[in-house]
Every structure is written in structure tokens, then in C-alpha cells.
Amino acid sequence: MTIKTVATTPFSDQKPGTSGLRKAVPRFQESNYLENFIQSIFDSLEGYQGQTLVVGGDGRYYNRQAIQIILKMSAANGWGRVKVGQSGILSTPATSCVVRKYNAFGGIILSASHNPGGPDGDFGVKYNIGNGGPAPEKVTSAIYERSKQISEYKILEADDLDLDRLGETTLGDMTVEVIDAVQDYQELLESLFDFDRIQQLLMGGNFRMCMDSLHAVTGPYAHAIFEKRLGAPAGTVQNGKPLEDFGGGHPDPNLVYAHDLVDIMFGEDAPDFGAASDGDGDRNMILGRHFFVTPSDSLAILAANATVAPGYKDGLAGVARSMPTSAAADRVAQQLGIDCYETPTGWKFFGNLLDAGKATLCGEESFGTGSDHVREKDGLWAVLFWLNVLAVKQQSVEEIVQEHWKSYGRNYYSRHDYEAVESDRANALMTNLRNALPDMKGKQLGSYTVDYADDFSYTDPVDGSVSEKQGVRIGFTDGSRIVFRLSGTGTKGATLRVYLESYEPNPAKHDVDPQTALKPLIDIAEEVAQIKSCTGMDEPTVIT
């Protein structure tokens, strides 16, 4: 086996977004495209020679081929050991768990998260640092700068390795260890939650659950944890075999794309509890019988009930949420007497707070929740947390949520997504909004008075770094607000996200349909941003 140095030229589009580099599969398959980006990662790091790297992905199309390239490049670049998930499978939270448990230097996660897969679908590469979390901006910026200058990459000439057989092999001077993808992660979850009590709930005969893995990475984890360890009946996990194209579906756990689960949970003889996870296992959707729990409410309810779980019995250091996420968690934090941090979207912003011990639970409205047990959001963690709460409180999902609203009030909340908008049109919409901000304070919009209007900026309380232009906010004097933001997770055009929130303290008004309760704000959003004319779309692609 010999190390080969291959001459190459830069690609102009290798700037990582909030969750790494995401492109269509055919782009990654272009000659040298993946190799350039991997070499740019290695070239931007210092001190990794002889260290451990963790590699895995969500099983989507091109996952196995990409891993073989990464293994050979890792050997050529001096890594000492690579831990890779069996069959190339390793969920995003499990990767974070393994990096942290074995003090690895970092990890490479192959996923485009909730984006569709298959030969014409999407693929992604994300680098995680030694704390198990996504690389901060200074690291991703260094990777991008290197990608613009790269002239060669190193790769070992060797046969492909067997990724399906557990155990160690050598690749040049490097050790490759194929690990059980579930074991370390399951052990971590067992240390946090009362598995015996959850097992009693699932095996008691009066409680049924349905877990939909959407033919994505959590299938093997869900089978092992819910059906084998916790004793739920076979068939509790549906769509549990990871497929390269996710069965032709869209592995995004929301009310539109997780339609199999929604049909079950809102149908006749529905189970008591339903949950879904996404492509790489870091997102979750929670449902009760004929009842949907918004991610914002889920974070707040888990924070309010955290001490029922053994791993959080001593309480929380603090709570953190992304700026577009509703303020429901803020009200819980205030009552608990702990801090609540508002950060830009992107899990990397939570990493500093978690490492500094300032926050214990974190959440985003985009179906992501997690804690300081790893440095990523964690779909199955959230499902187990809910099961632990249900096992202790012995109430239905709906009863727990309604009880929470009575105590804290209800934050009516919705997100309207306009997907695959032509980038120029989406950017023009945001530019027009930003230009209008200086004259907006004090303005009357419908029955609302504007209290503030700004482009959200965040100063990290740990390292002092500043992140600007994180989303346009229009806040009203009654606490309601509208947020406009372009998402960086898609690969085609731009996704405009419009977030709408209204607080209702009166329990007698807690049963209104959110779209009805928020209709005045929806109309104002259209009036202010001229969404239909700017995007060319009459209605959102997805409403959650």
C-alpha cells in the first residue's frame, strides 16, 4: 500500500453551512469534489496525527463509498485510529457520544440530515470537534479558506474494507475499528433515564407507542432500545430499516412528511404515544393520541419536568433555545430561577453554553432537542425523556401539555416554510425587510403596535464572539412576534422560514387552532414582507 498525492484544483462552492457542506449527490460524485473537502478539513486542523477520528453516516446513498474514501485519506494523512460505525451507520448524536466517550480528536458525519436521499437526492459532510459538537465558525471558515487554495490531496492506494464486520483491521499505519453503532449510545441513555420504569409502562398492557424511523438511521437504535431492551411489542418501530433513498420519502419528522405516523396517531384506535426521527437521528416529533406537541412546547415541558429523570434529578443549570423558538421555555426558566439563553439557529451555538456549564437542556423549533449528555440535538433522547415523564406522571400526552399551559400560559406558535425559492428573490425579500426596520418601531400593524424591529445579533457569553444578521424580528407590545429567516440547510434555492408567535395566558382560550389564533400575524407577515409577490408562491410548502 502506498500513499498517492493527487493534483487537484479548487471548487468554488465548498463553504460549510450551519450543518456542514450539503450538496446534491451528483456534485459530491464529481471527480475530486469529496476528496478536496476532506483534505481541506485535515489541512485546517493541527495536532491530529496519531489521534482518533470517528466516522459514520445516516446510510443514505453514497454513504459507503464516501466512507471508504475518507478511511484511505485518513490513513494517508497520519490519523492513528478511525472508529467507524458498522455498515457505515452512526447517528449524529451517537457520533457525538463516541467522540466524547473515547476522547477522540474529532468526527466526520456523513448526512444531509432531513433532506431527501437517493442518487438524485442530497449528501452532506460535517466535521465535529473534540467536545463532540459541530465545528465552530472559526474552524468551518478555516476549512472553507483552505478549500479555495487546495492544490493536492493524499490518499492511500488500498482495497476497500469490510464495514459490516465488527473488529479491527489495519490500513497502512492506521487502525480501523468497526464498532457496534448502538452500544455506547444506548449505555449513555440508560444512565440518564429510568429504563425499568419505562419498561413497566411499555409492558404493562395499557400503553401503546409507535416509533417511526422514516427508513433512516434511528431504525437499528429504536429496535434495540424500544423493542429489545424495553420490551415494546415487535412492530412498535415502523419504517425501521435504513434505506439509501429513505424509501422514497422525505426523512423530516413533521406533520407533512411523517404522514404514516400522523395517520396512525390521528386515526381510529390510535396508540397513546407516537414519535418520529429524521435522517441522521438528531430531530424528533412527539405526538399523543390525536394530539401534536410543538417542539417549542416540548422543550419547555421537558425543562419543567426534568427532575423525574435520574440524569437530571439535581435540576438544570440553565436552558437555551434558538431565537426563532418560542418563549415557552423562558417562562419555565423564570419560574425555576435559572437562566434562559437565546442563540442563533445552529446547534454549534449551544456548545459553548454546555461546555461552560451554563445550560443543561437546549432546543430548536426545528424539531431538535438535547442536553449536555452530548453536543448535538438527539431525537431518541427526547423520545425517552417523554416516556420517562409519562411513566412517572401517569397522564396522557395531551393532559401533560394542557396542565403545562394552565401553569405557564400557552405560546401559540407556527412556522411557515417556503421551500426552493429562487435565491435572488429570497434575498431581495430579506433586503427589503432589513431596509424597512429603522422606521418600524411604534408603527401600528393591524391591531398590534411594533415594540421593536431588528436583525438579530448574538454575542456569545462564553467567548465573546459576535454573530450578526441571524433573522429579522418584529416584536409587538403584547409579546407577540414575527421572525423571517432564510435557512441554510437546503441544497436547492433558498428556504424562507416565517415564525409566528402569540402568548395567551387565559386557559379558557387555550383550545383554539394555532393557525386561527395566529391569523392576524400571518396577515401582517404577508403585508410587511410581500411574500406572495416576492417568492411567487401562494402558500407555504410546509406548515408546522
Task: Supply the residues annotated as catalytic.
Answer: 113
CB 376 within 8 Å of CB 107: no
**What residues contact residue 23 under an 8 Å CB cut-off, 6+ apart?**
13, 33, 122, 123, 124, 491
- Other C-beta atoms within 10 Å of 254: how many? 23
Distance CA 414, CA 515 (A): 7
Distance CA 68, CA 97 (A): 22
Cell of 9: 484544483
**What residues contact residue 70 under an 8 Å CB cut-off, 6+ apart?**
38, 55, 108
- Other C-beta atoms within 10 Å of 325: how many? 31
Where residue 331 falls (left for φ over 0; alpha for ψ -120 to 50; beta otherwise) is: alpha
CB 365 within 8 Å of CB 415: yes
Q: Strands 410-421 and 494-504: what pairing?
A: antiparallel
- Cα 405 to chain centroid distance, Å, stands at 26
Distance CA 438, CA 435 (A): 7
**What residues contact residue 267 under an 8 Å CB cut-off, 6+ apart?**
none
- Other C-beta atoms within 10 Å of 477: how many? 11
Distance CA 54, CA 284 (A): 24
CB 359 within 8 Å of CB 299: no
**What residues contact residue 186 under an 8 Å CB cut-off, 6+ apart?**
221, 224, 225, 229
Distance CA 216, CA 51 (A): 30
Q: What angle do CA 242, 187, 215 make, to 5 degrees?
A: 10
Distance CA 231, CA 201 (A): 10
Distance CA 62, CA 71 (A): 14
